[in-house]
Amino acid sequence: MTLDDARAAYERLRAAHLSTVRASMEDHVERLDWPRERIERYQTERLRSLLAFARARSPFHAARLADVEPTTATVADLARIPPMVKQEAQDRWDEIVTVPDIDRAGAERVLADQRWFSYTPSDLQVFSSGGSSGVRGVYVWGWEQFVTLACLAWRWQARAERRSETEPGPARLAVLEAGEPPHASTPLFDVATEAGMQTVVIPAAAPFEQVLHAVARAQPTHLVGYASVIGRLARAASAGDLTIRPVRVSTNSEPLSDEDRDAIAEAWGAPVHNLWGSTEIGVQAVGCGEGDGLHICEDEVILERVDADGRPVGPDEPATRTLATGLAGRAFPFIRYDLGDEVAILSGRCACGSAMRRVADIAGRRDDDFRYGDCMVPASAFRYVLGTDPRISEYQVRQTENGADVLVVGSPDVPSVVAALVSSVRPFGLDHAEITVGVVDRIARHASTGKLRRFIPLAG
C-alpha cells in the first residue's frame, strides 16, 4: 500500500469517527453546566463500570482489584488499590490490555508497518510516546474512547463559541502538533468542531521559518498546538513578522509559561484554552478561557493528589504526585496511574459558572528545558526523538555547553539517533549542536526515591 492509499483509507474511516465526535459534542457541552451533585453521581457510576470491566477482562487489574467490590465502589475506595506506574504498565502490557485480538507484539507491528495513522480491524488506534518519564510507551485507544477524548479536548471551546455574541464566519483551524505517526496529538486535535470549519496540520517540529510561513498562508481563525510554538508565533506577530487574527487559541503538550501566555494576550487578545493531557489518560483538565486554572474533566477522569506512600491528601495539603484514573479507557485501563506531575487545587467557583473543580496551570517539568545563551530548547525536542524509537527503552539527557550527552538503554542506530536529535533541536536556535549518544545496560536512579532524572541541566 502506498502512502497515498494509506492516507485515503484512514481518512474514510476517520470521517465516520469525526461525525460521531460532533454528534456527541452537545452532550459534553451540557455536562459543563451540571450541578456538583450530578457530576459526582455520574463519576461514581462511570467508576463502577470501569472497575467491573477491568476486573473481568484484565488479569493485571483483577489482581489489583481483588479487595474492591466494583458495584458499590466510590472514589474513596481507590485508595485501597496500589498505584500504577509507567514502567509497570509497559512491562505487563499483555496482562492489562482487554481487547482479545491485540497484544504488545501486535501493537508494535502496527506501529512498524503503518504508512500513516491507521485503525486496526477492531477499530483501535495504536500510538507511541516517550512522554515526560523517558520510558517509551505503547498505547491503544478504542473507538468510543477517542470520541470521549476529542469531546473533552474541544468542549470548552465549543461552549464558548455557542455563547459568543459575534456572528460566526468561515473558520480555519491551524493544528500545530507532531503532524505524523506515532503521536496521538494530531488525530486528537485535528478536529473541526464547527460546520464548515477547515483544518490544516502544520508539523510543530519543522524549522520555525517553515511553521511561520505555513501559518501565514493558512490565515487561521483558530490555533491549537504546542504551547512553546504558539508562544513563539505570538512574539513573531507582535514583531510584525506574522499577520493573523485568531479569535481563539488552544495550547497543549507542554507547560504554558507565563511568558507565552502574555505573548498570546499581547499579540491577539484571544481567549486561551490550555490543556493538560497524556497519551495514557488522554485529557485530564482544560482551561475554560475565562477563569484561572484548568477544569478537571471530572465526568471522565478522577485525579488523586497523594503523598509519597500513595495516600490521598487534602486540597490544602502538599502532595508528591498525582494519580489519574481514566474512566473512558477500556481497551487498556489506567487506574490510579502515576502521572508524575504535581498539581494544586484551586478553591472557589470559576467565573465561567461551571462546577467542575479546577487545578492551577500545570508547571509540569518546565526545568527539564535547557537554556543555551539566548536559546531555550524544550525537553520535547529530545523526547520527540528518544521517546518514539522502538529500540530505545529508556534514556537520560545531560546538557553540555553546546548540546547534550545522552544515555540510552536498548539497541538503537546511534548515528541516526544523533542526526535526528541535531535536527530536532535546530529549530530552537541551537544550530550546531554537539550531541553524543551512549548505549548502556542501565541508568542509575535516585538512591532513596528510585526516580530517574531524565533531563539534567548544566550546573549553575
d(CA 300, CA 312): 19
Query: In 83-226, which ranges are continuous DSSP H helix?
Result: 86-91, 93-96, 104-113, 143-163, 185-189, 208-218
> How crowded is residue 305: how many other Cβ atoms within 10 Å of its Cβ?
20
Quote the DSSP letter at residue 103.
Answer: -
In angstroms, how far is CA 440 from the centroid of its own chain? 29
* Residue 90 backbone zone (phi > 0: left; psi -120 to 50: alpha; other: beta): alpha
pLDDT digits 0-9 by tens, 221-265 = 999 998 878 988 998 999 899 999 999 999 998 778 777 898 899
Classify 206 as helix, strand or coil: coil
Q: Which of 425, 384, 387 is nearest to 404 (CA)?
A: 425
C-alpha cell at 173: 483551524
Neighbours of 322 (CB within 10 A): 20
Homologous superfamily (CATH) of 366-456 is: ANL, C-terminal domain (3.30.300.30)
Query: What pTM does this model have?
Result: 0.82
Minimal CA–CA distance to 420: which of 133, 127, 205?
A: 205
Q: What are the two backbone dihedrals, phi and then psi, of residue 199, each rounded to the nearest 5 degrees?
A: -125, 150
List for the chain the helix, strand, coil content (%; round to 5).
35, 20, 40
**Are the CB atoms for 253 and 278 separated by under 8 Å?**
no
* Statement: 1-364 belongs to CATH 3.40.50.12780: yes
* pLDDT tens, residue order, the chain (460 aa): 788 899 999 999 999 999 999 999 999 999 999 999 999 999 999 999 999 999 999 999 999 999 999 999 999 999 999 999 998 999 999 999 999 999 999 999 999 999 999 999 999 999 998 655 557 899 999 999 999 999 999 999 999 998 886 767 789 999 999 888 888 999 999 999 887 899 999 988 777 889 999 999 999 999 999 887 898 899 899 989 999 999 999 999 877 877 789 889 999 999 999 999 999 999 999 999 999 999 999 999 999 999 888 888 888 888 888 999 999 999 999 999 998 777 889 999 999 999 999 999 876 554 578 999 988 898 878 887 887 787 886 788 999 999 999 999 889 999 999 999 999 999 899 999 999 999 998 787 544 333 467 788 887 5
Q: Which amino acid is at 148?
A: T
- Report which residue type is found at 330: R
- Per residue in 104-138, pLDDT (tens digit) is 999 999 999 999 999 999 999 999 986 555 578 99
Give the pLDDT confidence score for residue 208 in this predicted structure. Answer: 82
Q: Which residues pair with 409 in a beta bridge?
A: 394, 440
Q: d(Cα 93, Cα 106) in Å, to the nearest integer?
A: 11
C-alpha cell of residue 291: 477563569
Indicate the domain borders of the chain.
1-364, 366-456
Cβ-contact 215, 237 below 8 angstroms: no
At 334, give phi and psi (nearest 5°): -115, 110
Cβ atoms of 198 and 172 closer than 8 Å:
yes
- With both helix axes pointing from N to C terminus, report the angle between 143-163 and 3-31 in degrees, rounded to the nearest 10: 60
Contacts of 35 (CB under 8 A, 6+ apart): 355
